[in-house]
Structure 1
Amino acid sequence: MYSEATRNALIDEATTLFAERGYAGTSLEDIAASALLTRGAVYHHFAGKQALFEAVLDRLGIGAIQRVAEVASKQSSPEDAAIAGFDAFLGESCDPVYGKLVWQEGPLALGWEGWRRCEQDHSYALVEGVVLSLMHSGYLEHTAERTTVRIFHEMLGGAGLALAEASAEDKPQVRRECTDLFRRVLLGLHQQAGAAPADG
């Protein structure tokens, strides 16, 4: 119990300091001092600063996806679930801590491949579930599953980054624009699916 509490305290302090100073501007000594622990205590739980940053992203990502999934699950149709879930995810990206650490500091701290792998672990399965639900319901044409999921996942990431880079004053407008664009993309694909000739 104490060990878990210490680990959580380190993640708490690391989240705050990484958000305030950035990954490069934060040292393990800073985090240990903020948590009233020694550097050795940090290494007892994490192999180094990058491992601690990964733990921060894991916590942020898991929490965000759980909240998004909860919003989507309350909708009455796959289309409504997709739109509500997308908008809820944008809401998460409006949070200054989440936006900065996930979208801006993540690639710098973990490298492109490491950050991409982290994003895959957190959000890909949720996007895949939404897209397949749209396909199985007949709302989208059931074709090119993997490519469609990947494109939707990239759309989510692009919108998240746009929000992270937007000023606090511009975030509400950017969020509305992204949600509207997503809705129009879905409608366009739905209309195309309806116009597609039946098999056979």
Structure 2
Amino acid sequence: MSSPKSRRELYSEATRAALLETATRMFAADGFTKTSLDDIATATQVTRGAVYHHFANKTALFVAVIEAQEQVVVDRAVADALAADGEWAAAMAALDAYLDSCCDPVYGRLCWIEAPIALGYSEWLEWEADHTLGLVEKFVVSLIDAGVIGPTPVGIGSRMVFHLMGGAGSAIAGAPEDSRTQVRQECGLVIKAMVSGLRIDRS
């Protein structure tokens, strides 16, 4: 049985959570470049030293923010997949959950617009692959094992779907607010039509 956390530990956790909440709001509203650690510290009502106690620099804080955002999206996609009937329906439910999440102005801006700026394109792409490519691969393997799609090179197949989803995320997040839903629907139609070509039974 673990011992109860000290008041200092609880305060530290609360401070970190408050910093993440403030940083999420400010990065989404003003962007990574225009938001400073001093801005975040002031808005959170903590010292700059308190920020550095938890995060080495602004980039580290930003990474923590987008990690939290991605985890919410992944959890939602997995939950919707588990509630679906059949492997294909599960994969499509996960895709729909992801595309819907890209319409969210906070997630969309942070992970698809600000992240490439904050991390650099190559590092951001690698980061995204580390966080989502494995999940895409699991869906591809499950569809092959269930006989829903024919023999497919798992590695390249998963990466192609991953890049399709990335293109959709960028398109949706970058669309004007009044057309974002339409772009999301169009992305869903195109991706589903493309991956449906792998199905053995296309009925």
| TM category, shorter | over 0.9
Which residues of structure 2 form unaligned runs of 5+? 1-9
2:131 aligned residue? 122
1:160 aligned residue? 169
CA distance in 1, matches of 2:129, 2:192: 23
The structure 1 residue matched to 2:107, chosen from 89, 98, 111, is 98
CA distance in 1, matches of 2:201, 2:111: 37
- Deviations along 1:81-128, one digit per CA (max 9) or x if unpaired, are 111111110111100010001000001001123212321232112111
- Asked if 1:80 is matched to 2:89, the reply is yes
Q: Does the 8 Å CA contact 1:28/1:39 hold for their aligned counterparts?
A: yes
Alignment TM-score, normalising by the size of structure 2: 0.91
Which residues of structure 1 form unaligned runs of 5+? 196-200
State the SS of the aligned residue for 2:120.
helix
1:48 aligned residue? 57
2:119 aligned residue? 110
**How far off its partner does 1:172 sit?**
1.4
- Deviations along 1:20-57, one digit per CA (max 9) or x if unpaired, are 11000000000000000010000000000000000001
Greater mean alpha carbon deviation, residues 81-90 or residues 40-49:
81-90
Q: Which has the higher contact order (CA 8 A, sep 6+)?
A: 1
Q: Does the 8 Å CA contact 1:93/1:99 hold for their aligned counterparts?
A: yes
CA distance in 1, matches of 2:152, 2:29: 44
1:6 aligned residue? 15
The sequence identity of aligned pairs, in percent, is 43
**How far off its partner does 1:194 sit?**
6.0
CA distance in 2, matches of 1:71, 1:62: 14
Query: Match for 2:120: what amino acid?
Result: G
CA distance in 2, matches of 1:81, 1:96: 25
CA distance in 1, matches of 2:34, 2:70: 22
**How far off its partner does 1:18 sit?**
0.5
Aligned length: 193
CA distance in 1, matches of 2:196, 2:162: 17
2:7 aligned residue? none
Greater mean alpha carbon deviation, residues 114-123 or residues 95-104:
114-123
CA distance in 1, matches of 2:139, 2:127: 19
2:157 aligned residue? 148
CA distance in 2, matches of 1:134, 1:83: 11
CA distance in 2, matches of 1:5, 1:82: 37
Q: What is the root-mean-square deviation of aligned Cα atoms in Å?
A: 1.4
Alignment TM-score, normalising by the size of structure 1: 0.92
Q: Does the 8 Å CA contact 1:136/1:142 hold for their aligned counterparts?
A: no
State the SS of the aligned residue for 1:132.
helix
Q: Does the 8 Å CA contact 1:92/1:98 hold for their aligned counterparts?
A: yes
